[in-house]
Amino acid sequence: MDRQNEIHVTSHQLEVVKSIEGFVGEQLNSLLMNVDESWQPSDFLPDMNADNWVERLTDFRQRAVALSDEVLVVLVGDMITEEALPTYQTWLNRLHGVTDQTGASPSPWARWSRGWTSEENRHGDLLNKYLYLTGRVDMRSVETTIHHLINNGFDPQTENDPYLGFVYTSFQERATKISHRNVGVLAKRAGEDHLHKICGMIAGDEARHEKAYKLFMTKIFELDPAKAVLAFAHMMKSKIAMPAMLMDDGRDKKIFSKFSLVAQKIGVYTTKDYAEIIEALVNEWKIEGLTGISGASAKAQEYLCGLSERYLKLAERVSISGAEKFSWLYDREIALAPVV
Ligand SMILES: [Fe+2]
Ligand SMILES: [Fe+2]
């Protein structure tokens, strides 16, 4: 069924998105990095052109030996998520009013969308090369999963609506920031400082992108609070779908939920984090203090204000058990019982 008929982007919404285009243009220099000053994946990888490249590569691989299978699985899942970037750029370009009409449009929204994509492109690139060079994971299986994921696509149920879209990205950028940062902490704990630094750089980009999307949405809240709060509540009711939920290694259609369980187990991304993100966004957009709204919008406001508490209670009840095999790790098994 085509859900486009259920949610209709109004002409007023399009006017709002158009009216903040100038503001977006003014902010671009602080929201995106200057390319010439930006980090690149090769800054964090062994220099294969150096005379002592073998030594450098050996050092690099030795450091990665410290990583546990749990950390590797989560890093692989995060990398695969990043590598499905073509899907996300396509999605971003479908949002009404934000579309890059020519592919090289000078409009602020189009410049944002290409700038965001080009920064994100470094994430999958760096993590992919990192993992390949460690020699610790089955790269063919990982690549097959990326191939399937891009092939399967992703439907976050944002219906090409820019309000729903920017709520989604505000949430998702914060979620990826948390996830990369936590993998970095675990890497450091294991003694792999280099991966800690890599994850920190990526998390820094995610933090800047989170700031951008929150800012776009703040502007929308200023101009159209009644509809903005409805959009926020709508996304929370349908729950934030993870961008890589349709991943498949060709053998196991449940590989995404297995990866999510490992992330939950080692504390990289948990139900508690989900609750924390809701709370942060409710505070950011000052939902409690919204005035002048009534009817469905006032109900949405009330729903949102109590929501993170509900997820926190749910988080207390999460329990995982059993063990799972991962093709990414040559079928090695990971116990899912939490570490005590
Ligand atoms: Fe990313
Ligand atoms: Fe991101």
Work out the widest C-alpha separation in the chain, in whole angstroms: 70
Contact 177, 166 (CB under 8 A): no
**Which residues in the chain show pLDDT less than 70?**
1-7, 338-340
Residue 340 is predicted with a pLDDT of 45
Rounded distance from Cα 209 to ligand 2 centre (Å): 6
Q: What is the dihedral of CA 178, 181, 183, 186, to 10 degrees?
A: -120
Tokens representing 279?
């709370």
Rounded distance from Cα 295 to ligand 1 centre (Å): 38
Rounded distance from Cα 172 to ligand 2 centre (Å): 7
Rounded distance from Cα 114 to ligand 1 centre (Å): 14
The model's pTM: 0.96
Is residue 147 part of the annotated active site? The answer reads no
Residue 312 Cα to chain centre, angstroms: 21
- Distance (Å) of CA 46 to CA 35, 51, 55: 22, 11, 9
Per residue in 74-107, pLDDT (tens digit) is 999 999 999 999 999 999 999 999 999 999 999 9
Is residue 39 part of the annotated active site? The answer reads yes
Q: How far apart are CA 160 and CA 277, in angstroms?
A: 23
Q: How far apart are CA 247 and CA 153, in angstroms?
A: 9
* Amino acid (one-letter) located at 198: I
Residue 126 is predicted with a pLDDT of 98
- Please tell me the number of the ligand nearest to residue 208's CA: 2
Per residue in 26-51, pLDDT (tens digit) is 999 999 999 999 999 999 999 999 99
Is residue 284 part of the annotated active site? The answer reads no
